[in-house]
Amino acid sequence: MKRFQQALVFAFSLAIPVLALAHNGDHADPVRYRQSGYYLIGWHFAPMAAMIKGERPMDAKDFATHAQFVADIARVLPEGFANGPHKGKTDAKPEIWKNPGDFADKMKAFQEQSAQLAQIAQGGDAAQIKGQFIKTAETCKACHDDYRKD
Ligand code: HEC
């Protein structure tokens, strides 16, 4: 029993610094959270755009992988806007928190269209993929026009 307790104490002594780290400084910054999400989305969106524009050869498998990442990351973004506006260096307009319903609609449109893109990309039909890529890109623009500083 004593040995079990010691093991438990040891396990907690390892866990507590890790937990503390997870709730410190930058690791609890919602601005950094959402900017990181958008950075990843931009990362995966660019090669898809290049394939659509013909700047690089279409690779359906590669395209589908990027599309799935965008759809997955899109799902976490609302977390980075909760309980704002937040302090820090941000391009997010304060209007986001004045029109939460409209912002949520634009976020949802993006999540739905990007999920649809990931699904269509699996099918490999170039014309369909292009059409859905454009629809998805329009949801980026719709939100940036209203809620992101130039
Ligand atoms: C629902 C609103 C919304 C949608 C949809 C949206 N964005 Fe954004 N985006 C923002 C806001 C707001 C910021 C500014 C975040 C900040 O600075 O706090 C931003 C920032 C960015 C950034 C800069 C990230 C950085 O490094 O700071 C990139 C890149 C970006 N968006 C790309 C995209 C792309 C590509 C799409 C679509 C595939 C998209 N966004 C869809 C609202 C949106």
For residue 85, whether the previous peptide bond is cis, meaning omega lies within 30 degrees of 0, is yes
Ligand 1, residues 29, 34, 36, 38: which to mutate, most atoms within 8 A of Cβ? 38
Average pLDDT over residues 75-103: 97
Q: What's the pLDDT score for residue 3?
A: 75
Say yes or no: CB of residue 73 within 6 Å of ligand 1: no
Interatomic CA distance for residues 46 and 136, integer angstroms: 13
Phi, psi of 111 (to 5 degrees): -60, -40
Q: How far is the CA of 98 from the centre of ligand 1 (A)?
A: 18
Closest to 67 (Cα-Cα) out of 139, 136, 8: 136
For ligand 1, atom 2, the nearest C-alpha belongs to 143
Which atom of ligand 1 lies nearest, measured to the CA of 92?
A: 12
Say yes or no: CB of residue 38 within 6 Å of ligand 1: yes
Q: Is the pLDDT of residue 25 over 60?
A: no
Say yes or no: CB of residue 131 within 6 Å of ligand 1: no
The position carrying tokens 């992101």 is 148
Query: What residues have CB less than 8 Å from 16, skipping those under 6 apart?
Result: none
The position carrying tokens 């609609």 is 105
For ligand 1, atom 5, the nearest C-alpha belongs to 140
| 6 pLDDT tier (thresholds 50, 70, 90) | confident
The position carrying tokens 């601005």 is 31
Q: What's the pLDDT score for residue 26?
A: 56
Q: Is the pLDDT of residue 18 over 70?
A: no
Lowest-pLDDT choice from 19-23, 26-30, 37-41: 19-23
Q: Is the pLDDT of residue 72 over 60?
A: yes
Q: Is the pLDDT of residue 140 over 80?
A: yes
Residues of the chain with pLDDT > 70, as a percent, come to 85
Interatomic CA distance for residues 123 and 60, integer angstroms: 9
Average pLDDT over residues 129-147: 98
Q: What single-letter amino acid sits at 20?
A: A
For ligand 1, atom 36, the nearest C-alpha belongs to 140
